[in-house]
Amino acid sequence: MDGQATSPIEVTGLCNRFGKLKVHEDLDLSLREKEILGVVGGSGSGKSVLLRSIVGLIRPSAGEVRIFGQNLPELAERERTKLMQRLGVLFQGGALFSSLKVRENVALPLIEHAGLGRADAEALADLKLALVGLRPEAGELYPAALSGGMVKRAALARALALDPAILFLDEPTAGLDPISADGFDRLLLTLRDALGLTVLLVTHDLDTLWSTCDRVAVLANRKVLTTGPPERVAAFDDDWIQAYFNGPRGRAARHLGGMEDEKPGAD
């Protein structure tokens, strides 16, 4: 594990096996309080599987995932549900319910888990939509009527509905045009600073890595190969890392992200 800072999430000796396929083997990773940690790796390296293991959607074959010091599988259902409400997840593609309007999508967790009535839940949903930069009229639309950027923001509003302490984002800028992706990155930084969020971000987007992440963890050979500030990781002696971070697209993203100097406090 790296660093002495508070770790709201500790992954130790994680193993994920599906039949004969080994996705993770003795994987260790820690997430520090109020940081944005980017998880990257080649196709098939298990980035999304790692995220789903942490949030309890996949039960690991072995190892331990502790969230705020608690191991999810060991908890009784009531305590597990309470802990899960401190986590917000934005899945790939947004995963909004197509049969519900945007406002109803955001209100649903408030009704199901916070016990709010429909009117109060939808009023609070409007505040969450405003928080992510969507106008009130967007709440009346169905997901099919939204642009890609609006889908991501609506899904983010739903992830923030229960005021989570930790936010998980799975490829949040995938499929967005550069302007929408940049807007999402800036929104993420604003929300992290304003709400004190801790963020785990799975992404292929080099611009997002350079512009938002305090640290980056690289998955390879079923483990975390290296973890650190983007600048340090980009200098790591590994062929895949060098091709990814220091190829033409990587150099351009680093320059545009203004990340030539290490972020204050990152170590």
Q: What is the pLDDT of residues 223-245, one digit of tens each?
A: 999 999 999 999 999 999 999 99
DSSP assignment of the chain: ---SS--SEEEEEEEEEETTEEEEEEEEEEE-TT-EEEEEESTTS-HHHHHHHHTTSS--SEEEEEETTEEGGGS-HHHHHHHHTTEEEE-TT----TTS-HHHHHHHHHHHTS---HHHHHHHHHHHHHHTT--GGGGGS-GGGS-HHHHHHHHHHHHTTT--SEEEEESTTTT--HHHHHHHHHHHHHHHHHHT-EEEEE---HHHHHHH-SEEEEEETTEEEEEE-HHHHHTSS-HHHHHHHHSHHHHHHHHHTT-SSPPTT--
- pTM, full prediction: 0.88
- Note the pLDDT of residue 183: 93
**Full pLDDT tens readout for the chain, 267 residues:** 444 456 899 999 999 999 999 999 999 999 999 999 999 998 888 999 999 999 989 999 999 999 999 988 788 888 988 899 999 999 988 899 999 999 999 999 999 999 999 999 999 999 999 999 999 899 999 999 999 999 999 999 999 999 999 999 999 998 899 999 999 999 999 999 999 999 999 998 999 999 999 999 999 999 999 999 999 999 999 999 999 998 766 655 665 555 444 444 445
- Note the pLDDT of residue 257: 57
